Structure 1
Amino acid sequence: MNQFAIIVAGGSGSRMNSDLPKQFLPIGGRPVLMHTLAAFRAYSEQLSIILVLPENQVESWKTLCTHYDFVLDYQLVVGGETRFHSVRNGLARIHAPEGFVAVHDGVRPFISTEIVAASFRKASDAGTAVTCVPLKDSARQLLPDGGNQSVDRTAYRLVQTPQTFRLDWMRQAFQAEPMPHFTDCASVLEQAGYPIHLIEGSYENIKITTPEDLVWAEAFLQKRKAEF
């Protein structure tokens, strides 16, 4: 069965206090996004990878690829106004009649091949596979009256990516008009009436968004090097 990965990288460097978009910031000697793409290519040489970038970042990315001598087989697509539009632009590049599509954040560079494989397996069996992890900390719910109350943290999950779906289901779901609660692909598929199935993720599969995340990422890479 055809397998595709849409890597969405549309962030800025605002929370990083950086002029560089966060996906272009270096960790371990090369930009975050290169680690992410390499992780998906390591999963399979046959995987069709589609990278979605904002139009104003395309030339910078090409310059980085030349500078770092980064050569990897993928298609580059210009993104849209929101994440929803960017994913839809990536979907439009897929011409196969059927298959499975994994959508992943470009700033989650530590995704493992095992999780990617599990995601495709679950989507093949059930149609959808959304990566998540249990909450580590206690959680409280904010109430409309300004108060708050404790909630059972075992009843909640933190959602990650990849989120993998049947291609035909994705095409149908993304015909919808964008809505404020479409914060990820799972919410789009759920709105279209498709069941959402969860798979176990990893606490190492962090989304790099703040300067503290970069410190953790460098430490994790050093740990990996020491293990090999």
Structure 2
Amino acid sequence: MGFFEKLRKNGQRLMVSCSAIVPAAGSAVRMGQDKLLMPLHDVPMLLRTLWTLEGCGYVTEIIIATREDLIVPVGQLCRDAGLQKVRKVVVGGESRTASVLAGLREADPTTQLVAIHDADRPLLTAEILGKTIRRAAERGAAAPAVPVKDTIKRAADGMVETTLDRSELFAIQTPQVFEHGLILGALEKAEAEGIALTDDCAAVERLGMPVCLTEGSYENIKLTTPEDVLVAEAILERRGEA
């Protein structure tokens, strides 16, 4: 029985603790500049990401895993912004798994859930964050997703092999939220076996654990190229957050 289900059965008020891990140690080669501190309408991208996590009542602490050369400027950014939940800024690793583990190992050992959110997804809404945390508390693992819009084909050597059924395909986003012990064990196992992962759900899937999908948003984009920045700024303007 999930944590939320127990509370509902007992008729108690919902209480859950969730540590947020923000992997931010990438090189940003495709962006052409260091994107963490890059301004989106005069606000650093990382700060926009952290604001949503800071404002979530379920999130009790935030740990950022970044490059060694960014430890001081990221820490200063958080202090200047008055972020109360950023507990540590630690050195990440050369892979996503290594960075997430660096953050996880600094998390409060008593936390019930862990939300892992890309530093370069600054348009996350409070609604998506809260919904994903609640679903993870019920089922152990959850992630937001959106249906794939384009037709997807599998190809080899430039030749189409098959067309995939678009109705079964989803683009997975972050935050990806898990029971603390589950994701820690899953990522440590993947690291020990030298498995390269592009997201954290894959580590849990390798253990045979199902991941529940929640409703994501086409606006919850990952900023990878300069074109993505233009889209993000347009979304912020439409939201009135520019």
Q: SS at the partner of 2:202?
A: helix
In 2, Cα distance between equivalents of 1:226 and 1:173: 37
Contact 1:11 1:22 in 2 (8 A): no
Residue 175 of structure 1 deviates from its aligned partner by: 2.2
The aligned amino acid for 2:120 is V
- The reply to whether residue 156 of structure 1 matches residue 201 of structure 2 is no
Give the conservation status (yes or no) of the 8 Å contact 2:17–2:58.
no
Contact 1:79–1:86 (8 Å) recurs in 2 = yes
Partner of residue 10 from structure 1, selected from 25, 28, 36:
25
5 Å-filtered alignment, 1:100-179, equals: 100-143=113-156, 146-178=159-191, 179=194
CA contact (8 A) 1:143 1:149 kept: no
Tell me the distance in 2 between the aligned counterparts of 1:181 and 1:86: 13
Q: Does 1:223 align with 2:238?
A: yes
Normalising to structure 1: TM-score of the pair?
Answer: 0.89
Deviation larger for 163-172 or 141-150: 141-150
Deviation at 1:144, TM superposition (A): 6.8
Deviation at 1:52, TM superposition (A): 1.2
1:74-96: CA deviation from partner (whole Å, max 9, x where unpaired):
02121122110111111111233
Structure 1 residues 22-101: aligned runs within 5 Å: 22-44=35-57, 47-62=60-75, 64=77, 69-73=80-84, 74=86, 75-101=88-114
Unmatched tracts of structure 1, length 5 or more: none
Residue 210 (structure 1) aligned with residue 221 (structure 2): no
Measured at CA, do residues 47 and 98 of structure 1 come closer, stay the same or move farther in structure 2, by a change above 3 Å?
closer
Q: Distance in 1 between matches of 2:156 and 2:103?
A: 38
Name which of 197, 203, 211 aligns with 1:188.
203
Distance of 1:156 and 1:46 partners within structure 2: 30
Distance in 1 (alpha carbons) for counterparts of 2:208 and 2:174: 20
Stretches of structure 2 that go unaligned for 5 or more consecutive residues are: 1-15
Change (3 A) 1:41 1:196: same
**Are the counterparts in 1 of residues 20 and 59 from structure 2 also a CA contact under 8 Å?**
no
4+ runs deviating over 3 angstroms: 62-66, 143-148
Identity %: 35
